[in-house]
Amino acid sequence: MNSQTTTAHAAHTASPMSGQRIRHPRIATTIDECRLMLDAGDNANLLVLCGPTGVGKSTLGDFLVEAELRNQAAFMTENPGCIPAIRLEAPASGERDFSWRLFYQRMLSALEGELDAPRTAYGVDPETGKVVRPVGPQTNRLSGLRTAVERSLRNRGTRFVVVDEAAHMMRQCHPNRLEEQFNTLKSLSNEYHVQWILLGSYDLFELVSLSAQLARRSHIIHFGRYREDAPDDVRSFRGCLKKLGECMPALKDHDLLRYAEAFHQNTLGCVGTLRTVLVRLNLLVAEQGWSEDVLRKALLTDAQVTQIMREIIEGEERIAPGLTRHLLAPSTRTGRRVA
């Protein structure tokens, strides 16, 4: 594996939280659906993956990229410049409109390394021996950055790009320009056969659904939480609690399952939120020792739980109609539909 590919892989695995990630049933099921749609190629060039805050969407994106790197390891050995998948975050630049300049720079950073300075091709005049800068598009301009991204996607053989916080791409523009934003991604997809996986909370689905063109071009995947009213979800959540607890030095000898119901209620069945709570608890227990008072300090406040729950319920209600698919009854020979 070449140094740039190794760097791209390390970017997704070097996080101090990486040792506490688990491939639990809900994330495994969602990954399988994503992989199936990725196999569809140009017939599913835009995957929109929505879920509540703290459910683990960023972790899912990392798993998808890492799995692709493993699957393509032999091909990457034979083709050292290949980077089949990357993950980046859509910038919230504070500007009025979404910053495609910053977005392209982040893509180039993931594909080609850091871009601390504008890149311009230099050469040597054979007659004078002096260094000259050729006249032409410069990659620090938006058009030049776009050209550089196109070249990198082609040269790296990138199969898909995971974009976290993708709602920033649409929230920072007028609704009438939503299609224009997505058409930019679609043009890259069509020309270089790159698929896009957009990760975001439920507002991402709401923004996509504003346009019939965007809705037609998107495949929606719901990455949901573990619900307290579903026995299978309760069992899976308890498994997540047990595995995450075993990863943390100060918690591995404590019976966290004794408090499984409290953890489920407090984190609303979102494994990413559960991990955050357990990391805090691990630090507190290491410093102060185990007690229920220490456990309470690590939990979300009632106000936080109420606000997150409100957003989850509203989001689940909005996305539910968008996930319903009806099979129309076949027509009779007279052309009338069968009731």
Segment among 35-44, 125-134, 167-176 with least mean pLDDT: 125-134
Three-point CA angle 105, 111, 113, nearest 5°: 75
E strands, 137-294, are 160-164, 195-200, 219-222
Q: Are 111 and 153 in contact (CB under 8 A)?
A: yes
Chain segment 285-296, per-residue pLDDT in tens: 999 999 999 999
Which of 26-48 are b and which e, b meaning 16 or more Cβ less than 10 Å from the residue's Cβ?
A: bbeebbeebeebbeeeeebbbbb
**In the chain, what are the domain boundaries?**
3-115+145-222, 231-323
* 169 — pLDDT class (breaks 50, 70, 90): confident
Distance of alpha carbon 161 from alpha carbon 197, whole angstroms: 6
Distance of alpha carbon 128 from alpha carbon 115, whole angstroms: 30
Cα torsion angle, 301, 306, 308, 309, sign? positive
| pTM for this entry | 0.79
**Domain at 3-115+145-222: CATH code:** 3.40.50.300
Distance of alpha carbon 272 from alpha carbon 107, whole angstroms: 25
- Kindly give, in sequence order, each residue whose CB lies less than 8 Å from that of residue 59, ignoring residues fewer than 6 positions away: 21, 27, 271, 272
Query: And the tokens for 154?
Result: 């082609």
Three-point CA angle 275, 277, 280, nearest 5°: 110
Distance of alpha carbon 189 from alpha carbon 193, whole angstroms: 5
Chain segment 31-84, per-residue pLDDT in tens: 998 888 887 665 667 899 999 999 999 999 999 999 999 999 999 999 988 999
Q: Which helix (H) or strand (E) is 46 found in, with range?
A: strand 46-50
Q: Is 221 helix (H, G, I), strand (E, B) or coil?
A: strand
